[in-house]
Structure 1
Amino acid sequence: MPTSSIKRVACYVRVSTENQLENYSIDEQTDRLKAFCKAKDLTIVKFYTDGGYSGGNMNRPGLQQMLKDIKGKHIDMVIVYKLDRLSRSQKDTLTLIEDEFLSNDVDFVSMSENFDTSTPFGKAMIGILSVFAQLEKDQITERFTMGRIGRAKNGYYHGGPTAPTGYDYVDGELVVNEYEALQVKEVFKRFLEGKSINAIQKYMSEHYTNKYGNWSSHTLVLNILRNNVYIGKVKFKGKVYEGKHKPIISTEVFNEVQKLLTSTKREDSKTIFQKNPFKANNLLTSILYCKKCGARFCGNHGNYVCYSRGKTDRRKIIDPNCKNKKWNIQALDKIVKDEILEAALNKDYFNKIISTKKVDTIDNSKEIKKRIDEIDKQIIRMMDLYQVGGIPIEQISNRIAKLKKEKDTISDQLIGKKQTKLSISEAKGILSRSAMILGNGDLSQQRMVVSNLIDYIDIDDELIQIHWSFV
């Protein structure tokens, strides 16, 4: 504040389009402010005028110039005709008064409301104003939340412009990014084949890139496996709604993955990243499910038993009254092994299995070629950068090597083969070695054969239903 008792006053006037015909015209406000300052013996140094600007918008030229002059210490007091001339928002009004005016030793006066921050009453009014500002903020938040709930109910993704891997966000909707969708399918496929989260992350990071860079995080892989946006759902505030976007993963595949994710939980939360998710003490542990209540089966005193019936882990009990049959471990293991060997040795039986499955085929050749062209262009640009200098050759070499590795990986898919969870040829390859491994391999080797060939097994008393992983 200057040592002189004469205060340098700035008068701010504003009208929006709808107020031009009211008593708040620029001329009317100006005349009344001049009369007020004359009566109070105040010296007006400048009028700041915003004509045709909404009070809900802070980006007004007159207002911004006044704030600039305040920071330059050219103003001691700001006067407006009414509070709503400064802003229609209680929150913005409070911000201007506290953060822009008072923090720069500038008093604020509203002529109509007799609001003067240089008086005790005016200071008290700031507290009242803050209450209304918080109320306004809460109302805005409530309206915003209601809007997002409405969007979710109508099937629209509410995550903003940051679309999940596999999609682009276009005009407020999720649109499939075919090249990234290919990568998402690869993640699901590898997990169902028995690969650990750590192994999947390492493979994806070495062979693919996406719009966020590369697959640098275990968490990214796990979040993708758990995200039901890939089966056409949208979620908000704990509720799931049918989305308008196109699914990337089938509901069947997604549900099977969720079962495996649940079955692979350990006391140590790091296990899922560091160990094979199918490691257990019995051959069929983690792939047996109760058809009656939906709980998993576990090995217990020589038997496979439903968690709900065995009650060995309260967290895994779904129906405490479940009476599904207990199965002798050796007996059930033999039944499943015999089914695998039958599929391996009996061609007609194998063909019968695959005829009952729906083949989900996708031709990604167009998107793969597009990505190969992009990689080629990136490599050329990297070579150009090397020629003009400025980037160390080590960085360029590493980047080109990574691009070439990605190109080699996706080029292998251009032969036109159909992509499935586990291809017929892959299943035949595993089956061809199954007799030797199931007969002579250790438990972990046998489990790897079983977990690769079988998604899960439903148990309904005497009825055993095997869900094969190849289609």
Structure 2
Amino acid sequence: MTKAAAYVRVSTSNQIDGESLSTQKSIIQAYCASKGWKLVNTFRDAGISGSNVDNRPALQALLAAVKTGEIEAVVVRDLSRFGRSARDLLNNLQALKDSSVTFISIKENIDGSDAYSQFMLTILAAISQLELEIITSRIKENRLARWRDRRIFCGKAPYGYIWNPKEKRIEIEPEQGEIYSIVVKEYLDLARSLNDISLELNAEGIPTRNGGSSKWFSGTLSKILKSADYCGEITVNRFITDVKGKIIGHRSESEHIIFEAPPLITRARWDRLQERLDSANSRSGRPSKME
């Protein structure tokens, strides 16, 4: 009797306790019974995206079991359960083939053991990948549209501010706003160096925007003080980034998105601040005497 294993997956956490996993398993059980196969195990990945293969522990356990010879056939309800990336799907299928394990996708009526099925799997995997890319593109477009309409704020607001999702507006984060004002006063009015101010903030245990063990540095303060966002208009969507978030280019002004925010500094005072920053010693951040 052929020893078969079921692989079932749902892609969102709110489906974990729903009927999706049990429905998939029931369909696979019925299929195995019709073939006279023994269903020896069911591998479940609950609430995990099909595009994130590395974080699918049950799939990895299944592939490990395949290598030991414990399983002779792998059965899924449909191809998308086994993966949405053409490359990863075909790699996994090759692993099954190398261990002489049959792959069955019930919905597509695929038996991966013959040449025709291998051809169909390649085509279906490519289609599945295309569908994923289209869905991802639509999600990004929808997110950008909501961003442009100021219905959401993507990423973190600048230090000193917080996005209120209920009111759909930028608000001052009181503690951070106060720290910003103190830094401006000490640097602009008391002529203290950014290095000295950052050391003092660290000594007092004042958290940065990232919190945790993140420390203040003169460069961090310089970047904050150079930002015109604090004058009351927060400009986002200015840069083009790669998949790792590295800036690789600048967007045109027509693509910029501007959120109104309560100002933490007047424009005149901010201009004076820039003059001081421009005249500062590049190493210490200490402003030179103004004429």
* TM-score relative to the length of structure 1: 0.41
CA deviations on 1:51-76 (whole Å, 9 max, x unpaired) are xx9997799xxx97676455344323
Going from structure 1 to structure 2, the CA distance change for 1:133 and 1:174 (only over 3 Å counts) comes to: farther
Corresponding residue for 1:272?
282
Task: Kindly provide the amino acid, as one letter, of the partner of residue 182 in structure 1.
Answer: E
| Aligned position for 1:178 | 174
Over the matched positions of the two proteins, sequence identity in percent amounts to 20
How far off is 1:100 after superposition?
8.8
Structure 2 counterpart of 1:143: 138
| 2:283 match: secondary structure | helix
Distance 2:274 2:139 in 1: 32
Instruction: Provide the C-alpha distance between the structure 2 equivalents of 1:254 and 1:99, rounded to a whole number of angstroms.
Output: 58
Question: Alpha-carbon deviation of 1:210?
Answer: 1.9
1:197 matched to 2:194: yes
2:76 to 73, 80, 93: 80
Separation in 1, partners of 2:48, 2:199: 54
> Does the CA contact (< 8 Å) of 2:5 and 2:75 recur in 1?
yes
1:84-103 CA-partner distances (Å, limit 9, x unpaired): 5x36x623x86466359827
Aligned to 1:281: none
Gap regions ≥5 residues in structure 2: 240-254
Q: SS in structure 2 opposite 1:90?
A: coil
CA distance in 2, matches of 1:208, 1:55: 38
Partner residue of 1:257?
A: 273
Q: What is the aligned partner in structure 2 of residue 154 from structure 1? A: 149
TM-score of the two chains, using structure 2 as the length reference = 0.61
Following the alignment from structure 1 to structure 2, what is the Cα–Cα distance between the partners of residues 449 and 28? 79
Q: Matched residues in 2 for 1:256 and 1:208: separation?
A: 29
The 5 A counterparts of 1:185-264 are 185-193=181-189, 194-207=191-204, 209-210=206-207, 212=211, 213=213, 215-230=215-230, 231-238=232-239, 239-243=255-259, 245-258=261-274, 261=277, 263-264=278-279
2:103 to 108, 112, 128: 108
Q: Does 1:167 align with 2:168?
A: no
Amino acid at match of 2:137: E
Superposition deviation, residue 181 in structure 1: 1.2
Change (3 A) 1:145 1:214: same
CA 1:100–1:185 in 2, change beyond 3 Å: closer, same or farther? farther
Alpha-carbon distance change, 137 to 221 in structure 1, aligned in 2, over 3 angstroms: farther
Query: Distance in 1 between the 2:59 and 2:102 partners?
Result: 13
Q: Is the 8 A contact 2:79 2:108 kept in 1?
A: yes
CA distance in 1, matches of 2:269, 2:128: 49
Tell me how far 1:78 sits from its aligned partner. 0.8
**Cα deviations across residues 378-422 of structure 1 (Å, max 9, x unaligned)?**
xxxxxxxxxxxxxxxxxxxxxxxxxxxxxxxxxxxxxxxxxxxxx
TM-superposed deviation, 1:190: 3.5
Equivalents in 2 of 1:214, 1:81: separation in Å?
A: 47
Alpha-carbon spacing, 1:117–1:222, altered in 2? closer, same or farther (3 Å): farther
Which blocks of at least 5 consecutive residues in structure 1 are unaligned? 1-5, 266-270, 279-447, 451-471
Name the SS for the 1:109 alignment partner. strand
Deviations 1:161-213 (CA, angstroms, capped at 9, x unpaired):
xx543235665765433222111112233343454433443343345512525
SS at match of 2:182: helix
Match of 2:251 in 1: none
CA distance, structure 2, for counterparts of residue 135 and residue 259 of structure 1: 52
SS, match of residue 273 in structure 1: coil
One-letter code of the match for 2:220? L
SS in 2 for 1:233: strand
Name the residue aligned to 1:34.
Answer: 33
Equivalence map 1:321-340=2 (5 Å): none
2:64 counterpart residue number: 71
